[in-house]
Amino acid sequence: MKIFKLMIPVIWMVAIWAFAMAPMEGRAASETPLFKDYQVAEVRLFEVPLNVAAPDSEGRIVADETVYQITRYNAKFNLFEMVIREGAQKVPPGKKVLLVKGTITAYSPNGTCAVHCQFVDKASGQVLLEIDPQGLRFRVANYIAKIIYQNKAGK
């Protein structure tokens, strides 16, 4: 009976310790920047599906705004050697390319949209991260750039 009385507090202490340590282990694993090895950010024209009432030019507009916003972050934090729209320039051989591509999922003529955005390793085609921002075009593009910054700089 004495052992049983002693085991209950020990089990509680182990459970509390395990609960307290679990978030630290999860945080340590997520602190490794996801995009840290990439030297080039390349933005593909966003797709405009037929079921979205947006002009075809909207994909180019969102992509250009995204390039602009990533370039702003790049100028401030020196994240990449190059930030380009896909096909605008030739990427030097041996550079690791982070491809940003997306699909416009909703559109309003007042300048708001929603996009499904993917961050892809261009060489392997592996999708590294997916997000679904929505709002004014420049805010959507800025959010995409902010996600890149956070996953490149680890902040």
Q: CATH code at 128?
A: 3.40.50
Strand partners, 82: 40
Q: Which of 23-32, 101-110, 112-121 has the lowest mean pLDDT?
A: 23-32
Tell whether 86 and 103 lie within a shared domain.
Answer: yes
Q: What would the pLDDT profile of 106-125 be if each residue is shown by its tens digit?
A: 999 998 999 999 999 999 99
**What is the three-class DSSP state of 148?**
helix
Tell whether 137 and 68 lie within a shared domain.
Answer: yes
Tell whether 124 and 70 lie within a shared domain.
Answer: yes
Tell whether 55 and 95 lie within a shared domain.
Answer: yes
- Say how many C-beta atoms besides its own lie within 10 A of residue 151's C-beta: 19
Residue 100 has pLDDT above 50, yes or no: yes
Predicted TM-score (pTM) of this structure = 0.79
Tell whether 27 and 69 lie within a shared domain.
Answer: no
